[in-house]
């Protein structure tokens, strides 16, 4: 039987906090840390080497997982701003929709 592939950005959310190696989703705890970082850096949300290192240590995620999440959330943030015409607020992102 084939493994189910993630089809939408919502598929990265996971309701469990398990560290199952076959699970491709991020835990709620990891997402909270990442989203808090993004909100705290909303004026200039650019992932530098030091931030990446700190996030890997605090979330127990790999650099690649964090970079992939960052690309997705960064794209989603700016797409939401463009669609709404809002360039100064994080309120346009609905990270709880999934």
> Is residue 53 predicted with pLDDT exceeding 60?
yes
pTM for this prediction: 0.59
Q: What is the set of domains in the chain, with CATH numbers?
A: 24-82 (1.10.10.60)
15, pLDDT greater than 50:
no
Q: What is the 3-state secondary structure (H, E, C) of the chain?
A: CCCCCCCCHHHHECCCCCCCCCCCCECHHHHHHHHHHHHHCCCCCCCCHHHHHHHHHHHCCCHHHHHHHHHHHHHHHHHHHHHHCCCCCHHHCCCCCC
| Residue predicted with more confidence, 17 or 79 | 79
Position 86 scores a pLDDT of: 58
pLDDT number for residue 10: 47
């Amino acid at each position: 039987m084939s493994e189910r592939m993630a089809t939408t950005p919502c598929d990265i959310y996971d309701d469990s906090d398990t560290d199952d190696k076959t699970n491709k989703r991020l835990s709620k705890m990891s997402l909270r840390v990442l989203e808090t970082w993004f909100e705290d850096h909303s004026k200039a949300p650019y992932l530098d080497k030091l931030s990446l290192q700190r996030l890997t240590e605090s979330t127990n995620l790999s650099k690649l997982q964090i970079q992939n999440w960052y690309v997705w959330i960064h794209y989603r943030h700016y797409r939401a701003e463009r669609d709404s015409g809002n360039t100064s607020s994080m309120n346009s992102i609905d990270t709880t929709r999934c």
